[in-house]
A and B are shown apart, each in its own frame.
Chain A
């Protein structure tokens, strides 16, 4: 790498901003393609296969179609909030990538923050403001309900998300993304499977996918918060949605699967990173394709009554292990942790009741 670029602050900033922007947009297109094409085999169909070879140009065709559409702003909408909403949703997604280590010891492309994971947790929850602005500013009842839901749900899921990350920080002894990736010889997904499951569930809620896509909820709320959006602004939401999925997959790959670390990672680091990100995303696609949607109150009780206690217990267990082994958890603890995770999930499931307005029929 050219040292001039790395040394000069502004050159560094400019070059890598463009790199990240390009990575996000290409990554989002790849993810859209992977998801739409990936739904095919799960559903006994082929998926998009007309635009280009194997339908590979489908995301581009989608993008062109969406960009050519008329930009409609409802007459009684709050014009400022309506316009700012998509921008504020999309911005944090880009900002997350500033600290994600793509390759080697350099760390994050723009800033190798020593508190990278705190930064990720803080930034990724900013998008909720934009979603709420869009929902409120659209002057539409469906989008208002979606906005009401999103504020409650996203803030709730922030807590187990952060707690599961804190456990990782304890085990690896570092707050920087690169330090977490290289901090422990074992990937965290093996060392603390419970933490990974909590992170997965919470981040799925955070990025509104799979069984937690309540704020879009197309069978109830038509399209949720972006019901009144079209054209460029809708494209921004779409970009932000998949960009957020990309970001969360990248964070999960870095934090729980050691990111770029792999065989020959001096040359192939970026490859391992992208491969692991893609693996997480395929898992998300698989989950989304299988499950029905949860109800808002069940989703909240899942966060507060299931994930939060689980995350606290996970934190406690990891903390005890860290203290007991002096900061370096031996590899054989992973068997104990797997067993513990199974016991905890089985045990707590017996107590957990997802509530409801007309409450669940007690058998």
Chain B
């Protein structure tokens, strides 16, 4: 705590020099719709991908959800198994905690990578089977899924962008 209390405006002048220095620094903002950063490989959002072949209908995800958003309806199958008849996630009430993805013992439920998921109606936020199912086009996130994580593009870091010009 060795700050001298100078009163003749030296501190003010120093502050002005610092702000002037920043004019020459690179801007750190991005122009969002045109310029997009890579999001985290472990992205958690309001998008889910559900692998219907791996899902056994055990409903562990539904039990682990603290909001009770996941609905799983099953019926008895022929080979002593469950047949999943309904699988729904109410994303409108989801807090994206990721407990369901972690809980899934058969790695059948993953987060998705897309984040522009605004809708005009609350009803559209209830994702049914058609929106959840794993297709070649859907991108599962690497959250708690190391096998997906290695395949995803590297996250854009501000440290890379802002640090470049500071290295003299």
Contacts and interface: CB of A to CB of B under 8 A. Distances in A.
A-B interaction: yes
Given A349-B7, A352-B7, A363-B5, A44 B15 contact: no
A43 B16 contact: no
Interface string A333-363: 0000000000001100110100000000001
Interface of B: 5, 7-9, 12, 15-16, 18-20, 22-23, 25-29, 31
Nearest to A345: B8
A291 interface: yes
Given A41-B22, A42-B19, A346 B28 contact: no
Contact of A291 (B15, B20, B29): B15
B20 A44 contact: no
A290 B19 CA distance: 7
A287 B20 CA distance: 10
A42 B22 contact: yes
Interface in A268-304: 286-287, 289-291
Interface class of chain B by DSSP: loop
Given A42-B23, A363-B5, A286 B16 contact: yes
Nearest to B12: A291
Contact of A289 (B9, B19, B25, B27): B19
A45 B29 contact: yes
Contacts of A141: none
B19 A345 contact: no
Contacts of A291: 12, 15
A289 B19 CA distance: 8
Contacts of A44: 22, 25-29
Interface residues of A, number: 19
Interface centre among B12, B22, B23, B25 (most CB of A within 10 A): B23
Given A43-B22, A46-B29, A49-B31, 11 more contacts: A41-B22, A41-B23, A42-B19, A42-B22, A44-B25, A44-B28, A286-B20, A291-B12, A291-B15, A350-B7, A350-B8
B19 A286 contact: yes
A349 B9 contact: yes
B8 A349 contact: yes
Given A45-B27, A349-B8, A290 B15 contact: yes
Contact of B9 (A290, A345, A363): A345
A48 B31 CA distance: 11
Nearest to B17: A290
A346 B8 contact: yes
A328 to B, nearest CB: 32
A45 B15 CA distance: 19
B37 to A, nearest CB: 16
Nearest to A287: B16
Contacts of A350: 7-8
A288 B72 CA distance: 59
Contacts of B28: 44-45
Contacts of B19: 42, 286, 289-290
Which 7 residue pairs spanning A and B have beta carbons closest together?
A: A349-B8, A349-B7, A41-B23, A45-B29, A290-B19, A346-B8, A290-B15
A363 B3 CA distance: 11
Contacts of B20: 42, 286
A46 B12 CA distance: 25
Nearest to A42: B19
Contacts of A345: 8-9
Interface in A244-290: 286-287, 289-290
A46 B28 CA distance: 9
A31 B103 CA distance: 58
A39 B25 CA distance: 14
Contacts of B25: 44
B7 A290 contact: no
A350 B5 CA distance: 11
Interface centre among B8, B18, B22 (most CB of A within 10 A): B8
26 contacts: A41-B23, A42-B23, A43-B22, A44-B22, A44-B25, A44-B27, A44-B28, A44-B29, A45-B27, A45-B28, A45-B29, A46-B27, A46-B29, A49-B31, A286-B20, A290-B12, A290-B15, A290-B18, A291-B12, A345-B8, A349-B7, A349-B8, A349-B9, A350-B7, A350-B8, A363-B5
